[in-house]
Structure 1
Amino acid sequence: MTLKGKWRIIQLEAFDEDYLDLVEPAYIQIDERGLGEMAFGALTAALDCAYTQSGFDFNWDGSDEGDQVSGDGWAELQDDGSLLGEISWRNGDETSFKAAPWATSSTAC
């Protein structure tokens, strides 16, 4: 399974389930160049990623309710096809997360 693409964040340890999709469905996304983005709650951020043997490490910069925020994190591909990782804020909190491949709809319009 490839790491590049869009992943649905389905769990954030430090936040309750209602917060995840506060503004839009929570996700983390990475492309083949190691650039990406993530969004959950009121946070949106750009990612600068480096692929590792089993996942990727990333630095992020973004906005949370209008405040400038940044941090780093990592994610590893699991045997069941999910991602497990951690998101850390600079001089602040951290949370573990779990993500699943983004489901695409095959329904014709």
Structure 2
Amino acid sequence: MTTPIGRWRITWMETWDQDFVDLIEPGHFRFDDNGLGYFIFGAVEGQLDYRLSEGGKRIDFSWSGNDEGDEKSGRGWFKLSSLRTAKGCFFIHCGDESAVEMELQT
């Protein structure tokens, strides 16, 4: 079984350029071993609630947090391409969406 646990650096987003992704700090997702996690990119940050499927190769999540201080929520998914890379989509409820690529940090 593959595990997503750890900090994943956002390396590309379709909707936002890397300067925006790294606006406050390097954009990333963190998946903890209890099905929860955290993310930040640009001025968007939030808490994650995730589930694994496909033998641990797919991560489906919901999130709640804020965008420039405004309360936001959404959902998304990632598919592990390898032990160290993942691709997926991130959705803001009634708002933007973006394809995302990320890499596990050591």
Q: Same fold (TM over 0.5)?
A: yes
Long gaps (5+) in structure 2: none
Tell me the equivalent position of 2:20. Answer: 19
**Residue of structure 2 aligned with 1:56, choices 40, 55, 59:** 59
Tell me the equivalent position of 1:35. Answer: 36
TM-score (norm 1): 0.89
Count of residue pairs brought into register by the alignment: 103
Tell me the equivalent position of 1:93. Answer: 96
User: 3-state SS of the aligned residue for 1:38?
Assistant: strand
Distance in structure 1 (CA, Å) of the matches to 2:82 and 2:29: 19
What RMSD over aligned residues (CA atoms) do the two structures have, in Å?
A: 1.2
Identity of aligned pairs, percent?
37
Long gaps (5+) in structure 1: 104-109
Runs of 4+ with deviation above 2 angstroms: none
Shift of 1:2: 2.5
User: 3-state SS of the aligned residue for 2:82?
Assistant: coil
Q: Which amino acid aligns with 2:52?
A: Y
User: 3-state SS of the aligned residue for 2:20?
Assistant: helix
- Which is greater in Rg? 1
Tell me the equivalent position of 1:45. Answer: 46
Tell me the equivalent position of 1:84. Answer: 87
Distance in structure 2 (CA, Å) of the matches to 1:77 and 1:27: 15
Q: Which amino acid aligns with 1:13?
A: E
**Greater Cα shift, 33-42 or 71-80:** 71-80
Shift of 1:80: 6.7
Shift of 1:6: 0.7
TM-score (norm 2): 0.91
Distance in structure 2 (CA, Å) of the matches to 1:71 and 1:35: 15
